[in-house]
Structure 1
């Protein structure tokens, strides 16, 4: 293993056999797979005494739900719950930790966040390094949806103001005397028969629309990227519009359920003066998506001008104490059920990728659904830059080693391409050697990393680190 200039931990050494016996039943007839490059030593980061050869190591940041971690088989996975450990990690699990490049050892194949957003992960840099980043869309949808419904009630009847008023009366010993007299101070409206505009109709938006319809509300919605799956979840009575302004016009409640995207053409401040000018004076804006979606100056002017409301679980320096705003802690996914579901989904995603090469719910790699590996074959994966000619070099390298490709999948997304090749193992006696072909492929210009997936967890990984070969 070759180490770049970054200090990622103390370098240690240990000699291991050059031939690694495959786990029974997982190689479908193959006796041995040889991936070690015969350089006489094997190097790793961290404490070598704690390294468990033949197991996938998972490094956890934050406290990850035990229900999620239970998805990893104990005999096959070494879970490091202390962020100070895991310097030999094959994958990283995290929640809110702001991940730095220095947190990611060269041995890491994948990163998964137990949640929908990935703003705390340097996704662009991980893409350059050939590391897929996964999230868990929909795992917290029910929890956020319930908070949106709660937000509609909070924005309808000044419930928070009423609670604070009763606390003050209680201090004065006047609560029983004034409880009926003061209720007129906190009048409001019912949800039934009102119109809800849902901006973004993914997992959370579609669930919000469905439950609001059950409450007797009228529905409008906008989502230029509406998927077939999400469309099928929507109530038939929902009116789809062709713009945000068309959706919010005449709406009593407006729920934001869109991602925050920086840069030109992004969603920063998308709810600004132009959109807000189409609000009803009494409209209630519900923002449980991202604080940066709403222009603070514009929403303050709206709240100052009439009886409109703003309910959010993101901080806002301008309206945090406004009488027409309810600002909560970021509670959207803060339920045990949501944390369990997100952690379990993240764990399953990591397992799929490490064990079979399948990619699902990645924010930077192409979705890749793979068929079962044929009998008497070994799976070989390659991550490369999406440039012409690389695939031809990969297939040519196998041909030169007299290795037959029996099944192949090639997918791309932006600057990244992902190749999965199942290699026939018949006719190669007792040992199938991949060391020459893997080094040739990995060091091909444009290739970032490669893996031989077989019966020994964690083995068979190689990277091209700025022209240096890392195994």
Structure 2
């Protein structure tokens, strides 16, 4: 929760005033403010303006961070003592609400999952959360193919055996005799069931088909984009059980979703009972998708295999399991791609208001801001009457809305308005207009996407005006 203790001190403002003269000759007084949250000593706090501040957690790829224009963006680590960040970039860091400054407009994770970000709470606060779908797809796909080979032939066991023999000085003497202990099968001509046909699943299916495998797939939410990437000969089924029934290999590529109707333990006893006795399960999605107890029973009673990229307290030393240390996206190329996508997403949102790849906000593609217009964005609760109240604020100020976009997702609505101030031939105080707009019932925050980078943001927090 947001603490309002010492609110007078915490709401102390650092003002950046600027006057913009439009082509009409009318002066627009733009008072922008920056402030922070959880400031222990307001006297030591110095607002930084003139650039968007991007706070990073974890080590983010330098190539990705280089996508930020240094003239408009400043990158700071998690140990930076300023509490005035405009956006957050992270990888695996488990983000706490206390680490989200009141000035934060957006959060981006350099990866597909967002389980380490309090997404639901961010929605309540009016903060879009972004991810980078597909950025690490090739890296994970390659490891899935590697996992198939590891599950086909006891390669790991053979490597460890040779190390033991080498330590005894017996490697050359025993190699031909002992190799029969590590037999296996080829993957060509075998059947691969791909559960989940998104970026990774579709790519896995395509490349496995190129290796001579027969492909079966299941995805109730298959998108047109993913469908176009599938091999022509794929056989799509209507359930997970039917997909895995005759499969030699099974790759799960679905998101982990908690709660009722979620995916926790979705590969459980009912599904595993449909496996062939020697089936190989490949889990490079999330460890929690697989019921370890049911998987252990399957491995104990047959010649099946389990290859997973996640820790498992029950199966870590099972003779038919290969457990990897979450290597899926651990390639230089994947980290560069994910960081670059996150940087581009944040940069575009902060500078233009465009939303793409958000997990909690609607996708919004915006046209260019008309010459002479001022762009404002408003985030509000998705409830009746709020949009009318927002537009009424501009009408009372005699400001013409040149173009407007309103989109919603769940409980959140996102508005972008380009306004033409020349319709009103009186001096206009953006400070007063923004305050009235932000304090409108149902509004969570507003932003002037115009003028000095890092400024122009205001929030309505429990009826308190924070800028």
TM-score by length of 2: 0.94
Cα 1:423–1:254 change in 2 (3 A) is same
* Contact 1:195-1:220 at 8 Å conserved across structures: yes
Partner of 1:301: 297
Cα 1:437–1:51 change in 2 (3 A) is closer
Partner of 2:18: 19
Structure 2 residues without counterparts, runs of 5 or longer: none
- Secondary structure of the residue aligned to 1:57 is strand
Q: Deviation of residue 43 (structure 1)?
A: 4.7
Q: Which residue of the other structure, out of 54, 59, 70, is the alignment partner of 1:58?
A: 54
Q: Deviation of residue 54 (structure 1)?
A: 1.4
* Contact 2:398-2:423 at 8 Å conserved across structures: no
- Secondary structure of the residue aligned to 1:180 is helix
Q: Which residue of the other structure, out of 439, 444, 451, is the alignment partner of 1:443?
A: 439
* Contact 1:116-1:138 at 8 Å conserved across structures: yes
Partner of 2:276: 280
Cα 1:21–1:172 change in 2 (3 A) is same
* Contact 1:58-1:86 at 8 Å conserved across structures: no
Partner of 2:29: 34
Partner of 2:248: 252
> Which one is further off, 308-317 or 83-92?
83-92
* Contact 1:30-1:430 at 8 Å conserved across structures: no
CA distance in 2, matches of 1:327, 1:66: 30
Query: Does residue 404 of structure 1 match 2:400?
Result: yes
Q: Which residue of the other structure, out of 306, 320, 324, is the alignment partner of 1:328?
A: 324
- 1:246-265, Cα deviation, whole Å (9 max, x unpaired): 11011000001000000110
CA distance in 1, matches of 2:179, 2:410: 58
Task: Map 1:58-457; keep pairs closer than 5 Å.
Answer: 58-428=54-424, 432-457=428-453
Cα 1:284–1:17 change in 2 (3 A) is closer
Q: Deviation of residue 19 (structure 1)?
A: 3.0
* Contact 1:195-1:219 at 8 Å conserved across structures: yes
- 1:42-97, Cα deviation, whole Å (9 max, x unpaired): 75466867643111011111111111111111111111024343410000011111
- Secondary structure of the residue aligned to 2:202 is helix
CA distance in 2, matches of 1:296, 1:464: 46
The CA RMSD measured in Å over matched residues stands at 2.2
CA distance in 1, matches of 2:214, 2:370: 52
- 1:233-273, Cα deviation, whole Å (9 max, x unpaired): 11111111110011101100000100000011010000001
Partner of 2:4: 5
* Contact 1:21-1:456 at 8 Å conserved across structures: no
CA distance in 2, matches of 1:394, 1:144: 45
- 1:336-387, Cα deviation, whole Å (9 max, x unpaired): 1111110010000001110010010000001111111122211111101110
* Contact 1:59-1:83 at 8 Å conserved across structures: no
Q: Deviation of residue 431 (structure 1)?
A: 5.7
* Contact 1:385-1:416 at 8 Å conserved across structures: yes
Cα 1:7–1:61 change in 2 (3 A) is farther
CA distance in 2, matches of 1:6, 1:190: 66
Structure 1 residues without counterparts, runs of 5 or longer: none
* Contact 1:382-1:449 at 8 Å conserved across structures: yes
* Contact 2:36-2:101 at 8 Å conserved across structures: no
Cα 1:398–1:250 change in 2 (3 A) is same
TM-score by length of 1: 0.93
Cα 1:421–1:205 change in 2 (3 A) is same
CA distance in 1, matches of 2:288, 2:28: 51
Q: Deviation of residue 420 (structure 1)?
A: 0.8
